[in-house]
Amino acid sequence: MIPPNPSSAPGPGAPMSSPDSGNSRQRLVAITSVIIVALLGVNAFLLINKFKKDRENTELSSQLDEKETLRADLEKQYYDALSQLEQMKGSNEELNSLIESQKDELATQKAKIDQLLANKGSLDKARSEIKKLNGQVEQYLAEINQLRLENQELGDQNRQLSEERQVLTTDLEAQRMTNEQLEAAKAALASEKETVEKERTFLAKKVDRASMISVQSIEVTGLKRRSDGKSTKKNYADNIDQLQVCFKTTANEVAENGKEVYYIRILSPLGETLAVEELGSGSFTAASNEQIRFTQSKEFNYNGTPEQICSVWSPNQPFSKGKYEVEIFNKGYLAGKGSVVLK
């Protein structure tokens, strides 16, 4: 409250103040009270705002301090890791290449953490990435140590192999001399074997030639199948759908009894071998080692006596006019020939 001005107070014997003067003082007191309350409110607001600002400044200062701490920790760990990796380099190019690759990966990770530290509100993420960086460095160092250990083991093995190779070289030289002697003996045996083999092959061919069962009375006939399943002889190419080859075996005292095979080769007027794989056609090796195509094969049991054999060729395709040659082979040799002319 504002104290009353003494100069304005009535003196002794002064007349009493009027009612208007009392009201003025009351209004003055009320106004003064309002002003005081307003000033107190402003002061309270300013104090609260200052408290908030001080707290924010404190938190910001704490964050800045933590950022600098994290940044310093990051720099130390990064360069310590680079130093350790560089010290592990040696003469092994593969290991050195791996170390350079790991250094590049660490640089990438550090740049990522630097970016997080530069951004407000990313400290938790930065802490996590720094922890990840520590684990990455430990993993790299473990890998390099493992590789160095393996390289050392390989080096020991190589030295051992080198010593063993020296021993083997000495043994091989002795073995080489022995082998040369054996090769000379082997060459002599091979030459002798080749001579014997040639004689054996020559004799075998002579035996095969002598035991070949010739055929005679070869007859080649054009046939036309009728609706009742029987066939009739025809001389015109347009009227036939089959060629029948019949022949008679001869006796051969050299040939042994048992299964024998005749390869029948039918040649068209153009000199081409008629052959259809699905109908049993194929190739055989002649006595001259030549591969010859055949039309049909005929297997029979030879018992030393002549026998009549027939084979029918039904190619399901038209025949051309002209002369058809037939060759019959046994044991790789020509056993007989025949022909037919279709008009």
Residues 120 and 252 in one domain: no
Same domain, 222 and 316: yes
Q: State whether 66 and 142 are in the same domain.
A: yes
Angle between helices 93-118 and 19-87 (to 10 degrees): 180
Say yes or no: 56 and 107 in one domain.
yes
Contact 91, 85 (CB under 8 A): no
Based on the fold, state whether residues 35 and 167 are members of the same structural domain. yes
Contact 274, 314 (CB under 8 A): no
What are the φ/ψ torsions at residue 336 (nearest 5 degrees)? 175, 160
Q: Which residue has the higher pLDDT, 14 or 108?
A: 108
Averaged pLDDT of the chain: 80
Q: Is residue 18 part of a domain?
A: no
Do 229 and 149 fall into the same domain?
no
Strands 258-267 and 308-313, bridge-based pairing: unpaired
Sequence letter at residue 199: E
Out of 119, 151, 171, a domain closes at: 171
In one-letter notation, the amino acid at residue 175 is Q
Q: Are residues 30 and 164 in the same domain?
A: yes
Q: What is the pLDDT of residues 8-31, one digit of tens each?
A: 445 454 455 556 677 788 888 888
Task: Tell me, yes or no, whether 297 lies in a domain.
Answer: yes
- Return the amino acid letter for 228: D
| β-strands 322-330, 258-267 pairing | antiparallel
DSSP-derived 3-state class of residue 273? strand
Residue 39 has pLDDT above 80, yes or no: no
CATH number at residue 326: 2.60.40.3880
- Gap between the terminal Cα atoms of the chain: 155
Do the domain assignments include residue 20? no
Whether residue 282 lies inside any domain: the answer is: yes
Domain end: 144, 171, 198, which one? Answer: 171
Its domain, for residue 225, covers: 212-342
Give the pLDDT confidence score for residue 206 in this predicted structure: 46
Spatial separation of the C-alpha atoms in residues 204 and 210, rounded to whole Å: 10
Q: How far is residue 243's CA from residue 224's CA, in Å, rounded to a whole number?
A: 9
Q: Binning pLDDT at 50, 70 and 90, where does residue 168 land?
A: confident
Q: Is residue 309 part of a domain?
A: yes
Residues 151 and 225 in one domain: no
Q: How many CB atoms lie within 10 A of CB 332?
A: 18
Total domains present in the chain: 2
Residue 151 resides in a domain: yes
Same domain, 219 and 166: no
Residue 187: per-residue pLDDT: 85
At 273-300, the pLDDT tens digits run 999 999 999 999 998 899 999 999 999 9
Q: What is the pTM of this model?
A: 0.42
Does the pLDDT of residue 88 top 60, yes or no?
Answer: yes
Q: Which residue has the higher pLDDT, 67 or 325?
A: 325
pLDDT digits (tens, 9 = 90+) for 313-338: 999 889 999 999 999 999 999 999 99
What residue type is 239 in one-letter code?
N
**Higher local confidence (pLDDT), 50 or 181:** 181
Q: What percentage of the chain exceeds 70 in pLDDT? A: 81
Task: Between 183 and 103, name the one with better pLDDT.
Answer: 183
Predicted confidence (pLDDT) at residue 263 exceeds the cutoff of 80? yes
